[in-house]
Structure 1
Amino acid sequence: MEAIAEPRLDMAAKGGGVTVATPVLPEGLSERGTMAAQRKLLDAMLAETGQPSALWYYSPMAMAFSSHLTAKVVVYDCMDELTAFKNAPVLLPLMERRLFKQADLVFTGGVSLYEAKKGRHRSVHAFPSSIDAAHFARARREGREDPADQASIPHPRLGFFGVIDERMDVELVAEAAGLRPDWHFVMLGPVVKIDPASLPRRDNIHWLGGKDYQRLPDYLAGWDVGIMPFALNEATRFISPTKTPEFLAAGAPVVSTAIRDVVRPYGDNGLVEIADGPRDFVDKAAMLMERPREAWLAKVDRHLAAGSWDKTWASMQKMMRDVVLAKSAAGERRGQRPAATAEGAVHV
C-alpha cells in the first residue's frame, strides 16, 4: 500500500462537466490535522478553479473544513439521519447546527426525514428518492443470463441488495430462512460496521458480497421476490430506501418490514407488502409468489412514471435559482452591484 508523505487531491473527470476531487492524507493525522489538511487542499483547488457559485453538502461533517467558503446558494442534501448511525462522529450534531445556519435550502431524501427537519430551517423540502428506472427495467427482459455465482442457487429465490449493516434485521433473515428451508435467500452487498461473523449461516442463505451497479438487473431478474428486512431501530427511523422503487422498476414483488417511508406510500398503495415478524414475512412472500403480476405491474409503472431524476433536479434547480434571484434583488435594494451568474458548484 502506498505511503502518503504529503496530503494531496486526486482529480478525476467524470464527464458532463463533473470532476471528483478525492483527498488522500497521510496516516496518523489527528482529527484537527485531518480537517486542516482538507481545508488547505480545498482552498488550493479553488484558487485555481475559482470560487463556486453553489455549495452542496451531503454530510455536515464537511463544514469542519469548508465553513469559511461563501457561494450564491448553499444546499444541504440530507439523505439520512446520520446522527443515528453506528459510530457517528461526536461533532456531527454541532456541524449540522452550523450547516442549518449557513444553508439556503435543505432537501431531504424522504418524508419522515422532512418531518424531522422541517422545524429546524426556514426552507426544507422533501424529495423522495428517484431512480434510473430504465436501468432496473432491464431485469424484466426475457433471456437475461444468470450471474455465475447465482446460477447454481435453486428457486424460489428471495433477494436483497444494498449495504449490510446495523440497519438489517439479521435475526429476521435467519428465522425466515429457518421457517422455509426450501427457499433461498440471496444477499448482495458489502458488510459495513458489523462483524461478518455475526451474519446467520445456513445452507439457504447466500452472502454474495458487493456487486457492480451495472450487473444488478442481471441478479434481480433471477429473483422471485425482493426483500427489505430492515430492523426497526434508531438507524432506520428516518430512512427512505432507494431500493424500493428500484425493486419495483425491476418488476420484482417486494416484502418489507414496516419502515415508515415504505409504508407510505408503497404499502398504502398496494405496491409493497408490509410484514410484521418472520412468520408474516414468509407468508407475505409466499402470497407474492402466487399472485398474478400484470395488474400489479401496471400500477407500479403508473407510480414510477410520476417521478424521475430529471423532474427532481428541475425542481431543485428552480429553487436554487429563486434563491440567487432573491439575493440579487436584495443586494440591489441595498445599493450593491448584483453578482454575475456562475455555473460552478462544489459538492462537499
Structure 2
Amino acid sequence: MTNATTPAGGTHGTLAASRPYDIVVFCHLRWDFVYQRPQHIISRLAQRKRVLLVEEPWHRPEQSGSSLRSVQEGLDVLQPNVTDIGQVGSIVTEYAGTGASVGWFYSPAFIGVLTELSFDQVVYDCMDELSLFRGAPAQLIEQERMLLRRADVVFTGGRSLYEAKAELHDDVHCFPSSVDQDHFARALKGLPVPDDMAALSRPIVGYFGVIDERIDLALLDGTAELLPDVQFVMIGPLAKISPDDLPRRSNLHYPGMRDYQQLPNYLQCFDVAMMPFALNDATKFISPTKTLEYMAAGRPIVSTAIRDVVREYADVVQIVNSPTSFAEAVRSALAEASAPDYTAILTQTSWDATVRRMESIIAKQPA
C-alpha cells in the first residue's frame, strides 16, 4: 500500500502525469467500509484497467490537502478533503487530468463533476435507491434524472431496481448481487473460531452487514424474547442509528464491524443465517448480497419478505413476517439435518462472470 497527499491548494502533478486512469469511479461508500458491490466489481475491473475510485468528500481541517492511496495494483482511492461535493471535480483533475475513457457512478450526487470532467462513456451502476434512504438530500432525485440523461448505459443491483430504471433509460441491464463463492465456502472447512464467537453458547442465529434503518429492530427483539436459549449475533457497523436504538437482551450481541477476510470464520459459527430487514422505503429495491454469501457457506436462511429475495429464492429461504413466524422458522431450520441444496443457484452466479458481462456491454457502446 502506498499513500500520497496533495498540498493544500496544490496539485499532485507527477502522480497525475504518470498514472493516467482508464476508469474514474464516483462512490458514496468508503472503500474501507463494509465490503460489498462496489468493492467486488471495481477490484475486478482494476485487474485489467487502471482505476481511480473517488469517495464522497470527507473534510478534515487538520489535514493538508486530499489523500490518494493505492489499495491494489491498478486501483487507487481518492478522498477529497473538501466541504462540498461540488468541489470534487476540480480535485479529481489534479490526480487524473480532465477525464478518462469511462466515468462510473454509484451515486447521482456526483453529477456536478461532468461540468469539469469529460468521459467517452458514462456508466451508472445503480446498486440502491439512495433517494429513499434516511437523510437523503432532496435534490438527489433530480440529480439522478440528470445522470440518467447523461449515462450511456445503466446497470442495476437487482430485478426490482431494473424494472424501475428501465422506464427511465433505454439501455438498462440487470446485474443482481453475486458472490465470491470460494471465499465464503471456506466456512465449510473448519476455520479457526473467533474468540467472541467461541464464548457464545449454541445455537447461533447470525447476520453480517450494515445495521441501519433497514433492520427491523422490533422484529429482532421480539424473536430474541421468544427464543431465550438462542444467541442472535448482528455483525457490522451502525449507520444512521444510535447504539441507544439497539434492543438489549442477554442473547442479543453486537460485535461491531469485522474485516471481509474474517467473515467466513464468523459465518461458520452460524447455525442459521438471518436477514431481518424492515419492509420500508429503504428496502423496497434492495437485493441483499449476503443471501448468496450465506448460501455459499451452506447455511439455512431466514428472511423477511424482501421483494427480490421472495421472487428469486422463496423455495430455499424461509420467509417470515413476525417474531412468531421468525421463531418458528429458526426452530424448523435447527431441526433440519442440513441446509437446502443451493448448488443450482450458486453455479449460475459469480462476481467474475458479472464483471466480464459488464465489460462486454461497455465495449459494445459507441465511444
1:186 aligned to 2:236? no
Q: How big is the shift at 1:228?
A: 0.5
Report what 2:43 is aligned to. Answer: none
Report what 2:144 is aligned to. Answer: 96
Q: How big is the shift at 1:138?
A: 0.5
Q: How big is the shift at 1:131?
A: 1.4
Q: How big is the shift at 1:5?
A: 6.4
1:240 aligned to 2:287? yes
1:16 aligned to 2:73? yes
Aligned counterparts, 1:2-41, within 5 A? 3-4=61-62, 8-25=65-82, 29=83, 34-41=84-91
Which one of 118, 126, 131 corresponds to residue 78 of structure 1? 126
Which one of 193, 218, 221 corresponds to residue 171 of structure 1? 218
Secondary structure in structure 2 of the residue aligned to 1:316: helix
Letter of the structure 2 residue corresponding to residue 273 of structure 1: Q
Aligned length: 309
Name the structure where helix makes up a greater proportion of residues.
1
Letter of the structure 2 residue corresponding to residue 172 of structure 1: L
Displaced runs of 4+ in structure 1, greater than 6 A? Answer: none
Report what 1:273 is aligned to. Answer: 318
Report what 2:257 is aligned to. Answer: 210
Are the aligned partners of 1:4 and 1:24 in contact in 2 as well (CA < 8 Å)?
no
1:52 aligned to 2:97? no
Q: How big is the shift at 1:275?
A: 1.0
Report what 2:161 is aligned to. Answer: 113
- Note the alpha carbon deviations across 1:207-253, whole angstroms, 9 max, x for none: 11111111111111011100110000011000000000011111111
1:309 aligned to 2:351? yes
- Note the alpha carbon deviations across 1:168-226, whole angstroms, 9 max, x for none: 00000000001111111011111110121011100010111111111111111011100
Percent identity (aligned):
43
Listed as ranges, the gaps of 5+ residues in structure 2 are: 1-58
Letter of the structure 1 residue corresponding to residue 334 of structure 2: M
Instruction: Please report the TM-score for the alignment, with normalisation by the length of structure 1.
Output: 0.85
Q: Quick one: distance in 2 between partners of 1:69 and 1:277?
A: 49
Q: Quick one: distance in 2 between partners of 1:67 and 1:59?
A: 16
Q: Quick one: distance in 2 between partners of 1:198 and 1:46?
A: 42
Q: Quick one: distance in 2 between partners of 1:108 and 1:2?
A: 33
Q: Quick one: distance in 1 between partners of 2:159 and 2:187?
A: 28
Secondary structure in structure 2 of the residue aligned to 1:24: coil
Q: How big is the shift at 1:36?
A: 4.3
User: Which protein is bigger by CA-based radius of gyration?
Assistant: 1
Report what 1:334 is aligned to. Answer: none
- Note the alpha carbon deviations across 1:147-188, whole angstroms, 9 max, x for none: 111111111100011100000000000000011111110111
Q: How big is the shift at 1:316?
A: 0.9
> CA 1:196 to 1:71, structure 2 compared with 1: closer, same or farther past 3 Å?
same
Secondary structure in structure 2 of the residue aligned to 1:20: strand
Instruction: Please report the TM-score for the alignment, with normalisation by the length of structure 2.
Output: 0.81
Letter of the structure 2 residue corresponding to residue 10 of structure 1: S
Q: Quick one: distance in 1 between partners of 2:219 and 2:177?
A: 26
Q: How big is the shift at 1:263?
A: 0.7
> CA 1:316 to 1:154, structure 2 compared with 1: closer, same or farther past 3 Å?
same
Q: How big is the shift at 1:309?
A: 1.2
Are the aligned partners of 1:11 and 1:19 in contact in 2 as well (CA < 8 Å)?
yes
Secondary structure in structure 2 of the residue aligned to 1:323: coil
